[in-house]
Amino acid sequence: MLDNLVFLAAPITACIMLAGILSYFGNHILSRGIIFIDIALAQIAALGTMIGLLLGFAEESLSVQIISYAFTLIIIALFALTKFKKQVIPQEAIIGIIYCLGLGLAMLLAERIPGGSNFITKTITGNVLWVTWKNVLSCFILFAIIAIIHLFFQKAFIRISGSNDGLPYSPGKTRLFELLFYITFGIVIVKAVPVGGVFLVFTLLIAPTATATLFTQKWRARFIWSWIIGVLGSFSGIYLSYSMNISNGPAIVCLLGLIAFLLAFLKLSAKKFRFLKHNNKN
């Protein structure tokens, strides 16, 4: 058992870290109703990597990473700045269009790069089991910096996410906060997706906060509960994958997804639980 723990220590640490930062962002994402933004961003980052490769840089070289980050940040900045009071096309539809065009372009480029179609699917699976301590450390430093930025501006971010039309301040000021929010989010996604894979990142982002939001609407309680659900879910998912010999990312995703669905149905069907709901609200 001790050997296994040593072997699993890095993946578990990585998962807990991912759960920590992603469950936090998930609350904002859910309140804004832009659920699929991380999948679109991951696609754009992959497209950036492919363009870097096409320009002749080596895979995982610094130049490719810079191109990938630059691409993602430009797109997300455009997204942050195109929020209007009267939204003709919902933001989620814009996300859909970004995803679609990104994937379409990637497919065209894939023809030109040997083994190019791998890059389209590579981001989908990820493999948290083979994460190195060096990678864990660099993630930790990056996430810590972003966490501090968010701690600093948390009131403004919460006010923007919580307001109905998303523009509580003057347009200029809101745009500035939005830019900061989305750029930090973009950095987290570009860093997290190669570690965990698109689906693990997506689920850690949405499922814990969705489960928490079923029972409480308060920001503080939502943060705390989604952290608890996210961390416990990743932990038991890894244990499950180990004991049942299935891949760990999918195990966590399915576990968290099942929990969210079960609790949603429970919430719907249980009139008897009303007193419990009442307690949670207070």
Residues interacting with other proteins, by CB under 8 A?
A: 30, 33, 35-36, 88-90, 92-93, 95-97, 100-101, 103-105, 107-108, 111, 117-118, 120-121, 124-125, 199, 202-203, 206-207, 210, 213-214, 217, 246-247, 249-251, 253-254, 256-258, 260-261, 264-265, 267-268
* Cβ at position 135, least distance to other proteins in Å: 22
* Cβ at position 153, least distance to other proteins in Å: 24
Residue 139 · residue 14 · CB < 8 Å? yes
For other proteins, the closer of residues 99 and 181 by Cβ is 99
* Cβ at position 82, least distance to other proteins in Å: 10
Let me know how long the chain is: 282
* Cβ at position 85, least distance to other proteins in Å: 14
For other proteins, the closer of residues 174 and 213 by Cβ is 213
Q: 3-state secondary structure string, the chain?
A: CHHHHHHHHHHHHHHHHHHHHHHHHHHHHHHHCCCCHHHHHHHHHHHHHHHHHHCCCCCCCHHHHHHHHHHHHHHHHHHHHCCCCCCCCCHHHHHHHHHHHHHHHHHHHHCCCCCCHHHHHHHHHCCHHHCCHHHHHHHHHHHHHHHHHHHHCHHHHHHHHHCCCCCCCCHHHHHHHHHHHHHHHHHHHHHHHHHHCHHHHHHHHHHHHHHHHHHCCCHHHHHHHHHHHHHHHHHHHHHHHHHHCCCHHHHHHHHHHHHHHHHHHHHHHCCCCHHHHHHHHC
* Cβ at position 63, least distance to other proteins in Å: 25
* Cβ at position 30, least distance to other proteins in Å: 6
For other proteins, the closer of residues 134 and 278 by Cβ is 278
Query: HSE-up of 200 (CA within 13 Å, CB side)?
Result: 31
* Cβ at position 95, least distance to other proteins in Å: 7
